[in-house]
Amino acid sequence: MLDFNDALPRPANPVDLAAQRETVRADLLARLPSVLKALFPAGKVRGGAFAIGNVQGDPGDSLEVALSGEKAGLWYDHATGEGGDLFALIAAVHGLDTHGQFAEVVALAGRLLGTARVEPTPLRGEAPVDRLGPATAKWDYVAADGSLIACVYRYDPPTGKEYRPWDVRARLWRAPDPRPLYNLPAIAQAKEVVLVEGERCADALIHKGVAATTAMNGAKAPIDKTDWSPLRGKAVLIWPDRDAPGWDYAENAARACVAAGAASVAILVPPMDKPDKWDAADAVSEGFDCVAFLIHGERQVIKAAPPVLPTHTLGALLDDDSPVPPDLIAPRVLTPGGLLVFGGAPKVGKSDFLLAWLMHMAAGASFLGMTPPRPLRVFYLQAEVQYHYLRERVKTVSLPPSRLGAARVNFVATPQLRLVLDEAGLAQVIPAIVQAFGSAPPDLIAIDPIRNVFDGGEAGGENDNGAMLFFLSQRVEQLRMAVNPDAGLVLVHHTKKLGKKPFEEDPFQALAGAGSLRGYYSTGMLLFRPDEAQTTRQLIFELRNGAALPVKSVDKFNGTWREVVNTGRRVLQDYAERLDAERRRKHDVILQMLFDEAAEGRCYSATQFAEAFEGRAGLGAERTIRERLSVLATQGYIKFFRNAEDYGLPPLHRSKFGYQCVEGMVLRREGPPDPDTGEIPMWPVSVYPTHYKCPQTGALLPVEDSTIWLYHDEDNP
């Protein structure tokens, strides 16, 4: 009940206004039923109360005015929670403020009395009959200490269900101010709370062992009049009814929970196949798996939970005798949730080694002493080799026939990706991995090489420690957490050039961005060629989660990587001779191809030739061909001509050197048509170089005498 003595500004004659107020109040109470009927023509007298829908005068039962007893003239709207005396009711009807416009409210009350007739009031001993009948349900709202705050009664009259709150402490039919949440003792003890609509839904989940609560009045609860503070620090999950008012309530309540300091807030999305107004109580009654829905159901995250810093006492560590999780790759080379960085210099064979290694892991087969506990599901994200050449490579890897079947389904690779692992790149990669493996996530994710997909944010490139840390924490970890938090990661990276002594002292310092990498990875692994004249490599390990592993000497024999035990001179000599023979073969093949192509009327720049003959005649990938062409140009076997117009060839605007030519090369070009037959003859034209590559500086220099072919190769003086 409002106290106008304190709230109103003092009028010019406060004594007269106060006397007038009391006189008008007495007259209003004397004519109360008629006054209310004049104010609300659609209202009805039921028992000891006058009922109307709202202050706008719509038909209904939500707003009630007591007609007798000490509460005569007091009103309460069960839908909005508003109430007061008769002056407050008249002010609400006319949109006035009883504080600043009370004189107008009194004047309106006087005019209202002129239209209302005097009726006898019921005798003091008569008790009004409750028009709603007996309550059909009752819910107690108790404080965290168990003391009773309020009760909510449900009635089911013919006009539909209605709820009436009873303020225990004020002993009035009204909601407490502020309104408490339901089930406060359980909420006080819980870390995770489910917020639903209405006490019926809360009780249904409580009986399932869930710490559930609701705001008083459910979806109609006034958010600003509810005390949300008990949810401070809690993880709140809101389960709305499947209708528009339910979702509106959920969004409004979510904002209130965030403002109250909830640790996290999310709204469950009701299943699309459920009927309208479906709620938590319906779910329990129909046998729906509520626990699974609360854990795995689709949700809209309003506020994410902050990461929790794990801590362990010495006693807990000493007493924990649970088994250590099995290695993904033993012995401790890669542990669940671990990160392995595999580095090496260019052309040392990293990708070839990695492909064989991953395929063996997918097959469940041991590889150079590294053993998986079972066939692993492997996703190989690679950004170096195009599809057709990846296909060629995997066919050269020899796997045990009995394990090939497992590897065929467990190993999944991408063709050469041309993307960056930023937010947009992750949005492509994550769904591809999930789709590739379905319900069983991958055990191992390999990225080869990270240089081609690197995203360091605004910090810089992969040589910058800050940029590398950003890539690892914000990109690589985001990928792993989205796919499988326990998956092992393998990142392929290049090494910088170090002197022999620094490399021997700390080889892993050669990794680009080594400061951040070494502080982040669980395992480092390097493939190193100590002698460029030999094919034997060293496999070097640095383990965080296990004992040190000895350095292995490895090499590839007939397409199979093996550990080299006998590194005697004869073995190395055989491999050196084999490599020399392969280099001579490629030398001869490239020169012959340039010569033969010219005879067919085709000439190439170095880039055009590498792209056109990649993977053909055993020349290898595009990069390998370009490197071999560069060596042959340095040795003088390949020179260049830049006068393309003299041979009827299109100019090369983007080529640094021009068209390639070899000694004695003849280009077939079209001659003038025969005047008698009209046929176009093909005439041979000798091609002479205009420039050569300086073997000392690599610069392009003009040829002094194009008819004399000079070589710079010591083997061909």
Q: How is residue 703 written in tokens?
A: 């040829």
Q: Are strands 264-268 and 235-238 parallel, antiparallel or unpaired?
A: parallel
* pLDDT band of 14, cuts 50, 70, 90: low
Model confidence band, residue 13 (pLDDT cutoffs 50, 70, 90): low
- In this prediction, residue 714 carries a pLDDT of 46
In degrees, rounded to 5, the angle at the alpha carbon of residue 681 between the alpha carbons of residues 679 and 685 is 165
Residue 602 to residue 528: CA distance in whole angstroms: 41
By C-alpha distance, which of 620, 534, 609 is closest to 579? 534
Q: Which burial class, exposed, middle or buried, applies to 102 when counting CB atoms under 10 A from its CB (0-12, 13-18, 19+)?
A: buried
Residue given tokens 């003091």 in the structure block: 124
Q: How confident is the model at residue 11 (pLDDT cuts 50, 70, 90)?
A: very low
**pLDDT class of 68 with cuts at 50, 70, 90:** confident
pLDDT of residue 78: 87
d(CA 27, CA 38): 14
User: H or E stretch including 65?
Assistant: strand 63-66
Give the residue from 71, 31, 28, 30 showing the smallest Cα distance to 49.
71
Q: Cβ distance 659 to 605 under 8 Å? A: yes
Average pLDDT over residues 104-128: 56
Q: 76 - beta bridge partners? A: 64, 83
Burial code (b: 16+ CB inside 10 Å, e: under 16) for 133-169 equals: eeeeeebebbeeeeeebbbbbbbeeeeeebbbbbbbe
What pLDDT sits at residue 123? 33
Contact 187, 203 (CB under 8 A): no
- pTM of model > 0.85: no
Smallest CA-to-CA distance from 73 within 120, 26, 117, 40 is with 26
pLDDT tens sequence across 238-280: 999 999 889 999 999 999 999 999 999 999 999 999 999 999 9
Sign of the torsion angle spanned by Cα atoms 267, 271, 272, 277: negative
Q: What's the whole-number average pLDDT of the chain?
A: 85
Whether 691 contacts 701, CB under 8 Å: yes
At residue 131 the predicted structure's pLDDT band, cuts being 50, 70 and 90, is low
CB of 384 closer than 8 Å to CB of 416: yes
Radius of gyration of the chain, Cα coordinates, nearest whole angstrom: 43
CA–CA–CA angle 174, 83, 64 (5° rounding): 75
Pick the most confident of 265-279, 456-470, 650-664: 265-279
pLDDT, position 310: 82
HEC letters along 154-174: EECCCCCCEEEEEECCCCECC
> Rounded distance, CA 388 to CA 134, Å?
81
Which pLDDT does position 499 carry in this prediction? 66
Q: Which phi and psi angles does 550 have, rounded to 5°?
A: -70, 155
Question: H-helix or E-strand containing 682?
Answer: strand 682-686
Question: Quick one: 121 exposed, middle or buried, by C-beta within 10 A (0-12, 13-18, 19+)?
Answer: middle
- What number of other Cβ atoms are within 10 A of residue 278's Cβ? 18
CB 196 within 8 A of CB 221: no
Measure the CA–CA gap between 274 and 268, rounded to whole angstroms.
Answer: 14
Cα separation, 189 vs 233, whole angstroms: 12
The distance in angstroms from the start CA to the end CA of the chain is 114
Task: Say what the alpha-carbon torsion angle 617, 619, 621, 623 is, to the nearest 10 degrees.
Answer: -140
pLDDT for 617 equals: 84
Instruction: Give DSSP secondary structure letters for 438-493.
Output: TTS--SEEEEE-HHHH---TTS-STTSHHHHHHIIIIIIHHHHHHH-TT-EEEEEE
Q: In what order do the strands lie in the sheet with 49-52?
A: 44-46, 49-52, 63-66, 75-77, 83-84
Q: What is the Cα 563 distance to its own chain's centre?
A: 42
376-390, 533-547, 641-655 — most confident range: 376-390
Size of the chain, expressed as the number of residues it contains: 717
Would you call 691 helix, strand, or coil by DSSP? strand
Angstrom distance (rounded) from CA 608 to CA 541: 40
Q: Dig out the tokens for 217 from the structure.
A: 């009045």
Average the pLDDT over 367-375 and give the result: 94
> Distance between CA atoms of 711 and 657, rounded to whole angstroms?
18
What does the DSSP assignment read for 336-380?
A: TT-EEEEEE-TTSSHHHHHHHHHHHHHHT--BTTBB-SS---EEE
If one compares 504 and 361, the residue with the highest pLDDT of the two is 361
The rounded distance, in Å, linking the Cα atoms of 217 and 205 is 18
Q: Contact, 480 vs 339, CB < 8 A?
A: no
Range picked from 24-33, 107-116, 490-499, 595-604 for highest mean pLDDT: 595-604
Instruction: Report d(CA 471, CA 457) in Å as an integer.
Output: 8
Nearest to 384 by CA among 493, 290, 297: 493
290 touches 279 (CB < 8 A): no
Q: Going edge to edge, which strands form the sheet with 691-693?
A: 659-661, 639-641, 691-693, 700-702
pLDDT range class, residue 121, cuts 50, 70, 90: very low
Report residue 553 as tokens: 């000497």
412 in Cβ contact with 379 (< 8 Å): yes
Contacts of 188 (CB under 8 A, 6+ apart): 144, 230
Give the rounded distance of the alpha carbon of 229 from its chain centre: 30
Q: Which residues pair with 172 in a beta bridge?
A: 167
pLDDT of residue 336: 93
> Cα separation of 441 and 410, whole Å?
11
Q: Is the pLDDT of residue 219 over 90?
A: no
d(CA 292, CA 270): 13
Residue 535 is classified by DSSP as: -
Q: How far apart are CA 619 and CA 350, in angstroms?
A: 19
Phi and psi for 154 in degrees, rounded to 5? -110, 135
| pLDDT score of 184 more than 80 | yes
Instruction: Give the residue among 642, 641, 647 at the shortest CA–CA distance from 671.
Output: 647
Q: Mean pLDDT throughout 559-582? A: 65
User: What's the CA angle centered on 538, arms 532 and 541, to 5 degrees?
Assistant: 145
